[in-house]
Amino acid sequence: MYQELTGLKKPILDKNDAIHWPVLLLYAEVMSSDFIEDFCETDIFSAHLDIMYSGSCQPLPWDNECAYTREAIELYYQVDSGIPLSKKEILMHLLEGTAGALADNICGEEENMGHISGHISSTNSINSGKWVKVNEKKTLQDILCQPDHVIPGIPAFFVVSKRSTFYKEFRAGKWTPP
């Protein structure tokens, strides 16, 4: 899911066994997006948002009312946004497009995947419609490990402004992704 926005970007494991994820921020109100290429699972959300929405940054090109400021934005994820994949399916997804994808012994690797956090989903979306606000002081890993969070290929979070007219509609559950 969202591959048209991210290409073939995949998470990578660093020398300290920390996963660095590509993360998609979706602006539901205007159907636009931002892409963080390297979001370490140990980073807290506020650190990335502080940089992206610092006072020295220009407003987003489509944000004529300047509603999307650091003080006004909130992040959400959608509960159970897909069908969780098995560890084998996750491994095959992560290896897709690499030489490792041709390995014969993928089944044997399943036991060695204990460090992969969260659930990754297939593109068959469930879309429960329930939204959970992200605590910006939590790490990416904290959020991905929530039992109701399913990663739709790569982590995707919805950015909404409390100053926007769209905010009430979103919070009332009257909006669903296309």
State the pLDDT at residue 6. 56
Q: Quick check: 142 pLDDT over 50? A: yes
Q: Quick check: 156 pLDDT over 70? A: yes
Q: Quick check: 73 pLDDT over 90? A: yes
Helix residue ranges per DSSP H, 7-139 = 45-52, 87-95, 106-109
- At 14 the three-state DSSP class reads coil
- List the structure tokens of 76: 């959400």
Least confident of 10-19, 30-39, 41-50, 84-93: 84-93
Q: Quick check: 111 pLDDT over 90? A: no
97 residue type, one letter: G
**For the chain, what percent of residues have pLDDT higher than 70?**
68
Strands (E), 41-178: 73-78, 119-120, 131-133, 150-151, 156-161
Provide mean pLDDT across the span 84-88: 58
Q: Quick check: 113 pLDDT over 70? A: no
Task: Please state, rounded to an integer, the average pLDDT across all residues of the chain.
Answer: 79
In what helix (H) or strand (E) does residue 166 lie, and over which residues does it extend?
helix 166-171
Task: Please report the DSSP string for 108-144 in residue order.
Answer: HHGGG-TT--SEEB-S-------EEE--TTSBHHHHH
Q: Quick check: 29 pLDDT over 60? A: yes
Provide mean pLDDT across the span 49-66: 90
Least confident of 64-73, 95-104, 129-138: 95-104
Provide mean pLDDT across the span 119-142: 73
Higher per-residue confidence, 144 vs 103 = 144
Whole-structure pTM value = 0.76
Q: Quick check: 56 pLDDT over 60? A: yes
